[in-house]
Amino acid sequence: MYSYNSYSDNELAFLLTKDDEKAYTEIYNRFYGLLFVHASRRLNDDEEAKDVVHQLFESLWVKRLQIEPEKNLSAYLYAAIRNRILDVFAHQKVEHKYVDSLQSYLDKDNVRTDFRIREKQMALLIEQEIGALPPKMREIFVLSRKENKSHKEIAHELGISELTVKTQVKKALRILRNRLGVVIYLILLLKIYR
């Protein structure tokens, strides 16, 4: 009886299509080292190369019935390992793009989150300072800046003159400017405050 290492590649491929495990083992022993060296040189990573070669041999056993014994087994295995190496490179490229875009998103999100936190802190500060205004002045200011009512509407609603409303809003803005600073004052002045 022949030993399996004396069989040609084509004979081993034929036996493989007949579920011959010893033929599979001989193919593994015959090509593993060569395929590993090839993959390792391309990938510059021995562990990755081992994984790729093992996956190739797992796939070879799973797809053994699809092997065409008359074709060149060596060429088939090298083409398969080349494709797997290209898959690794493609995956790494996608992974790098994903990581880069994720990092970019996180950086932007951190900026947005930081902005939202500052915005909330500023709104809270404005609320506190508006709350510290004298009651009538506060009421007029809230109607003017938060509810966006005109001086005429406020005067009518509160039963006071438009001049009083105008004066109270000016005083409130002056107080808030002194307490909160110019930037927040401009926000209030332009009625951007929500």
- Print the SS3 string covering the chain: CCCHHHCCHHHHHHHHCCCCHHHHHHHHHHHHHHHHHHHHHHHCCHHHHHHHHHHHHHHHHHCHHHCCCCCCHHHHHHHHHHHHHHHHHHHHHHHHHHHHHHHHHHHHHHHHHHHHHHHHHHHHHHHHHHHCCCHHHHHHHHHHHHCCCCHHHHHHHHCCCHHHHHHHHHHHHHHHHHHHCHHHHHHHHCCCCC
Residues 127-147 have pLDDT tens digits of 777 888 888 888 988 888 778
Could you give the maximum distance between any two Cα atoms of the chain, in Å? Answer: 117
CATH of domain 4-97: 1.10.1740.10
pLDDT at res. 132 = 83
pLDDT at res. 26 = 93
Q: Between residues 89 and 97, which one has the greater pLDDT? A: 89
Q: Between residues 67 and 92, which one has the greater pLDDT? A: 67
Domain boundaries, the chain: 4-97, 132-189
Percent of the chain with pLDDT strictly greater than 90: 21
- Domain at 132-189, CATH from 1.10.3470, 1.10.10, 1.25.40, 3.30.160: 1.10.10
Q: Between residues 177 and 164, which one has the greater pLDDT? A: 164
pLDDT at res. 159 = 92
Range scoring the smallest mean pLDDT among 80-84, 117-121, 185-189:
185-189
Q: Between residues 114 and 155, which one has the greater pLDDT? A: 155
pLDDT at res. 192 = 40
Residues 98-128 have pLDDT tens digits of 566 666 665 665 556 666 666 677 777 777 7
pLDDT at res. 45 = 86
